[in-house]
């Protein structure tokens, strides 16, 4: 169905999201624990979709989104945020994120967001 790069600084969140997307028929081709690593892995793997946490060390998700979209305008990035980060989510959408999913993850919402993102 699609090749995904999962980006989150929390290993548990990456594992949780990986299980949901794999069960939905997607292939996880890489995992990054910060925005800098996500940008590097995107260049290397050219995934169909990136899930990107907003708050991470080294380079946050918004900065990584901007960098990926600058080099690859057609990149599909789905932002992940905790409750209370609405201003950052709006900023991410302005910079080209397709959609966002809220933590803790809801499987139905993730499947819906993945379907929407892959349809673009």
Query: Rounded mean pLDDT of 112-120?
Result: 89
Alpha carbons 118 and 24: distance in angstroms, whole number = 13
Q: Can you give the pTM of this predicted structure? A: 0.93
As a whole number, the mean pLDDT across the chain is: 92
Domain boundaries, the chain: 14-33+40-47
Nearest to 3 by CA among 119, 118, 110, 108: 118
Q: What is the pLDDT of residue 96?
A: 93
């Amino acid at each position: 169905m699609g090749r995904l790069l999962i980006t989150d600084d929390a290993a548990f969140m990456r594992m949780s999201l990986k299980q949901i997307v794999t069960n939905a028929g997607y292939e996880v081709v890489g995992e990054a624990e910060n925005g800098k690593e996500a940008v590097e892995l995107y260049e290397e793997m050219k995934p169909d979709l990136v899930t990107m946490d907003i708050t991470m060390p080294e380079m946050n998700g918004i900065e990584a989104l901007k960098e990926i979209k600058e080099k690859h305008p057609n990149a599909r990035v789905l932002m992940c945020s905790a409750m209370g980060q609405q201003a950052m989510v709006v900023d991410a959408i302005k910079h080209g994120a397709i959609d966002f999913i809220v933590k803790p993850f809801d499987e139905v919402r993730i499947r819906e967001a993945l379907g929407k993102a892959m349809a673009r």
